[in-house]
Every structure is written in C-alpha cells, then in structure tokens.
Amino acid sequence: MRIFWILGLVLILASCKTTRKTSSSSSSYANYQENLSSSLPVYPDYRAQMTSKSSIGSSESTESIDGQLDQVQASLISKNKSEPYFSGYSVLVYSGIDRNKAFKTRDDLVMNFPDLVPEMQYQQPRYLVKVGKFAHKIEAQKSFSEVKSQFPTARIIQDRFQREEFKTLNELNQQDAEGQN
C-alpha cells in the first residue's frame, strides 16, 4: 500500500512539472514572406483609360448599349400591352358571406370617402369590397391609410386587373348603361 502512495505522489509531481516555454515571439515571424501576386485579381488602370479617352475627344462610349436597351424596353412594353391582365394591388375593405353587410360597407365607403370608387365582387361564397387599382403597393398605401381609420379590418392585397383595351363589348356596354343611370 505504501508503494501505491509513493507511486501516486511521484506521478502527481511528474505531472506538475513545469514545461519548457516555447519561443513564440513576433521576432520569429519578422522575416516571413509570401508572394500572393499570382492569386490576386488584376484591375486595369482607370486613370490611364480616362486620360486616353479624353485625349480622343469622343463623348460617346465605345461600348454603348443604349440601342440594345431601347430594343429590350420596346419588346417588354409590347409584350405587356398584349397581356389582357396585369398584376397589381387594391385595398380590400370587406370580405365575408353577408351580402347586406357588403352593400352597407360599400355605401359607407361612398359616403365617407367620395373620392374613392369602391368595387364590389362576388366570389362564391363571399363578397369582396375593394378600393382602387394600383400597379405598386406603395401607391395603395395612401388609400389604405385613409380607409383604415373607418374600417380597421382593411388590408392591401395582390390583385389582377383587366386592361381597358381588352374589355369586351358587353362589359363596355354595361359600364355605359351604369353611367347613364
């Protein structure tokens, strides 16, 4: 038993022996050098290019893409005009199954906000009362903030609208009849 105690004491003393400190000072790295030029990107000299362009006297860029941008823009405009519907935003004031409440909401909107034109839709089984046809959400924000004071459940929703050019004769006749009444 005594041997175990002596052996344990020797092991403890051996493990507590101070280790020799390695020299890791900054002076050992003072002479370190590495060439990274092969992995770095190479940029053209901007000042030299600007002075060479200004000496030529040309005000137009040699890499002008204005014509190409005009062509792309014209093709996008014609594509958009050929689509019968466009996506946008409107303010949904009422959504529910109660027909009378939908009509009351529409009438309240007309009375309280004469500058806004409410539109009522029926999508089975619910009635929707919407205000406005906006291309961007930020445009709908003004109408939303006005309506929100009287109708706290109002919200801005994504919607699809039919372009005026694509309305059928039947729809146009209905609008004319409503306008005459």
Q: Of residues 40 and 164, which shows the higher confidence score?
A: 40
Q: What is the pLDDT of residue 24?
A: 62
Mean pLDDT for 158-163 is: 88
Q: What is the pLDDT of residue 59?
A: 56
Q: What is the pLDDT of residues 81-131, one digit of tens each?
A: 788 888 899 999 999 999 999 999 999 999 999 999 999 999 989 999 999
128 with 91: CB under 8 angstroms? no
* pLDDT for 50 beyond 70: yes
* Count of Cβ atoms closer than 10 Å to residue 92 Cβ: 19
Q: What's the burial of 21, exposed, middle or buried (CB within 10 Å: 0-12/13-18/19+)? A: exposed
* pLDDT for 176 beyond 80: no
Tell the residue number behind the tokens 């405009």, with chain if given.
77
* Count of Cβ atoms closer than 10 Å to residue 96 Cβ: 14
- Domains of the chain from N-terminus onward: 87-173 (3.30.70.1070)
